[in-house]
Structure 1
Amino acid sequence: MNADLDGLLEFLLYVGQAKRTFRTGWVLHGVEKVESVADHMYRMAVMSLLLPTLSEESKVRCMKLALVHDLAESVVGDLTEFDGIPKTEKRRRETEAMLYLTSLLPADVGREIFSLFNEYADQKTSESKFVKDLDIFDMLLQAYEYEKLQSDGEFLEDFFTGSVHNIKTDIVKQWLKQLMDCRASGEQFQLPTDSNLNTMLKHILYDEQGTFLYNFPSSELRSKSNLCISTKSKSDHSNSSSMDTTQLLANLVKSMKHHRS
């Protein structure tokens, strides 16, 4: 077997572990359907591309920093202030983890990733400071989403009071102000529909060629899909036992088959 490819495969499996490592703070605050470390890093990377005043080179560097900054958590877990671990010990554990992870890669790639990890941790470059602000902003944006999704008022207020003053860069401060204004106004910002449900619906509504399976006008299909999604959304927010997604989809299929016959 090729030792270099073995190392690459092991590294990628650890990257995959980041998709299954939940963010500790949300778990401890009773959030449902908690995001993973990889979820968090992904949106930060997208945010990096949206920084309007940075050069393309700086945007790319920010994106790299975002994708690397929490990678050690795929080994040591998400260590937070709630764990009572001193910052120096947290840094030691994460550095040790990154040394191992980067040792699995070709030397030049490993050096770059380890350097990015240290750059973010040291907070001395302008890009690392931007990404630190994105780290905080993504957390607050996620808190806002969870409050809306769970319809539980401002139950994550602790995250806001403890973090809003830590954002330093003007660009991210503007984003934060927009978010805080929206949260304070109580505006019912329309969150996207459940994409998992949409993924399941596509197997009911379309065949492999992308053609409608049933002879319904597209407007009626869309109406039935929206009703199914709306019903699921309402049942998700109910404290009583609710119909699960599988049953909702089964009912949708039955009604479509009945209409066709």
Structure 2
Amino acid sequence: MTELAGAAGYLFEAGMLKRARRSGWWVAGVRDPESIAEHSWRAAVTGMAIASLEGADPARTALLCVLHDTPETRIGDIPKLGQAYLTAAGALDVVADQTAQCPPRMSDTIRDAVAEFEAGETPEAICANDADKLECLVQAVEYRHQGVSTVQPWIDSGLAALRTDTARRLAREVLDQDPLAWEQARRNPAP
């Protein structure tokens, strides 16, 4: 076994997030919900935007967002409904197992990022947690636009959880826009 065998294994495991679906959307009636990786990617972009506007470190925030759901390769995406009935291992315990065979610097980077996200205390973690909630709200608005009429609870809970002024303002903009307005503006530019 080489020095990077554990790192390679971690990359394969992280790839599971591309195939694993966000299960809460099934409760809302979404037949083919986004993957966990799709959620994490847009959460990272959202986190970068929030952090930039809030004066936090956008790169660190994006890292926290990219890694925040990696424990779900082992415990799955347990929707809020299921959390009332199940007790899963904590994210930090899962990450410790996931990274046990990785080189120490890599393992420390991943564990520190997930721990920071979970603690939710640094400006970057606050922005990352807001990005996680705001991305879910954006996705709910997109699903609503596609005809899923049962997503309002996801919108309401996302709005209620936002901590930064920037995330709350962005949420209002998202709620006021057509999800395809960006494309329509490109097709019909103002004179």
TM-score class, shorter: 0.7 to 0.9
Question: Aligned partners of 1:166 and 1:155: how far apart in 2?
Answer: 19
Aligned position for 2:189: none
2:134 alignment partner AA: F
Q: Aligned match of 1:164 in 159, 165, 170?
A: 159
Question: Aligned partners of 1:175 and 1:161: how far apart in 2?
Answer: 14
Q: Aligned match of 1:120 in 117, 120, 139?
A: 117
Identity of aligned residues (%): 23
2:144 aligned with 1:147: yes
**Uncovered stretches (5+) of structure 1, i.e. residues with no partner:** 193-261
> How much does 1:12 deviate?
0.8
Question: Aligned partners of 1:50 and 1:163: how far apart in 2?
Answer: 17
Question: Aligned partners of 1:114 and 1:15: how far apart in 2?
Answer: 14
Aligned position for 1:53: 53
Q: Does the 8 Å CA contact 1:76/1:93 hold for their aligned counterparts?
A: no
2:156 alignment partner AA: T
> How much does 1:86 deviate?
7.2
Aligned position for 1:175: 170
Deviations for 1:123-143, whole angstroms, at most 9, x for unmatched residues?
Answer: 111110111111111001001
Aligned position for 2:64: 65
Change (3 A) 1:86 1:68: farther
* Structure with the larger RCO, 1 or 2 (CA within 8 Å, 6+ apart): 2
Give the ranges of 4+ consecutive aligned residues of structure 1 lying more than 6 Å apart after TM superposition.
Answer: none
Question: Aligned partners of 2:179 and 2:44: how far apart in 1?
Answer: 27
Q: Does the 8 Å CA contact 1:47/1:134 hold for their aligned counterparts?
A: yes
Aligned position for 1:240: none
Change (3 A) 1:23 1:123: same
Aligned residue pairs, count: 183
**Uncovered stretches (5+) of structure 2, i.e. residues with no partner:** 184-191
Question: Aligned partners of 1:68 and 1:107: how far apart in 2?
Answer: 17
Question: Aligned partners of 1:188 and 1:118: how far apart in 2?
Answer: 33
Question: Aligned partners of 2:85 and 2:159: how far apart in 1?
Answer: 22
